[in-house]
């Protein structure tokens, strides 16, 4: 069997370039988390905002879409948090020929809201509130297999902080539709 060094070099470079460009293009959404308030007493509620900023031309699916792989958001285990619920803004609903059904999507930017209820005996000090999002990003030409990403923010639990009034999700979220995710 004859070996063709130029052909092997070309094929190796081609395959390496393909793998590299696929790896570079696999993440089209950048995630961040912010908390309000950032310093609270035990038994308080905290609003976490998980924001995704999209590369142009890319979208993800809502928490409630039926036709595609829905986005999921989970709070990593945290002894200071008794419970949480996830809320999403109204998604764009349209027929998707790739899935041959209606889908619900977000593009450009989306902010999911998590209402966190702290335990009555939450330990004082700093707590990392870490969220994991699993999503599938698609363009009008291709879908990337689902990925998991993590984003976190620091919360200060201080028993000396005056307890604030409970969050009014309807007022704070400005008409955001609810979706339980506990």
The structure tokens listed for 88 are 């999403």
* C-alpha distance across the termini of the chain, in Å: 61
C-alpha pair distances (Å), 105 with each of 56, 111, 120: 14, 13, 37
pLDDT at 41: 95
Is the confidence at residue 108, as pLDDT, over 90? yes
Residue 178: pLDDT over 50: no
pLDDT at 47: 97
More confident residue, 6 or 94: 94
Residue 123 has which token pair? 């330990």
Whether pLDDT at 66 is above 80: yes
Q: State the average pLDDT for the chain.
A: 81
Query: Residue 178: how many CB atoms within 10 A of its CB?
Result: 15
List the Cα angle 181/173/50 in 5-degree steps: 55
17 pLDDT above the threshold of 50 = no
pLDDT tens string 19-63: 333 443 568 999 999 999 999 999 999 999 999 999 999 999 999
- Of residues 98 and 110, the one with the higher pLDDT is 110
Complete DSSP assignment for 86-145 = EEEPPPEEEEETTTTEEEEEEESEEEEEEEEEE-TTPPSEEEEEEEEEEE-EE-SS-BPP
pLDDT at 136 > cutoff 90: yes
Peptide bond into 43 cis (omega under 30): no
pLDDT at 6 over 60: no
Q: Which whole-number Å values give the CA distances from 104 to 13, 70, 97, in the listed order?
A: 39, 9, 13
The mean pLDDT value for 8-12 works out to: 35
DSSP 54-79: EPTT-EEE-TT-SSS---EEEEPP-T
Q: Look up residue 134 and give its two tokens.
A: 């699993």
Q: What percent of the chain has pLDDT over 70?
A: 74
Q: Residue 94 pLDDT more than 90? A: yes
Q: Residue 112 is encoded by which pair of tokens?
A: 């999911």
133 has which bridge partners? 73, 149
């Amino acid at each position: 069997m004859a070996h063709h060094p130029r052909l092997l070099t070309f094929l190796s470079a081609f395959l390496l370039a393909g793998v590299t460009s696929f790896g570079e293009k696999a993440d089209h959404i950048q995630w961040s988390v912010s908390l309000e308030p950032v310093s609270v007493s035990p038994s308080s509620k905290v609003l976490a905002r998980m924001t995704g900023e999209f590369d142009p031309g890319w979208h993800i699916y809502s928490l409630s879409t039926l036709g595609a792989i829905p986005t999921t958001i989970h709070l990593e285990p945290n002894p200071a948090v008794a419970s949480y619920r996830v809320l999403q803004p109204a998604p764009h609903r349209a027929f998707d020929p790739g899935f041959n059904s209606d889908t619900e999507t977000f593009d450009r930017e989306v902010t999911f809201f998590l209402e966190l209820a702290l335990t009555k005996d939450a330990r004082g000090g700093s707590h990392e509130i870490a969220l994991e999002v699993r999503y599938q990003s698609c363009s009008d030409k291709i879908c990337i297999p689902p990925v998991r990403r993590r984003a976190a923010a620091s919360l200060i639990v201080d028993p000396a902080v005056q307890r604030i009034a409970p969050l009014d999700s309807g007022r704070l979220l400005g008409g955001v539709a609810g979706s339980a995710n506990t």
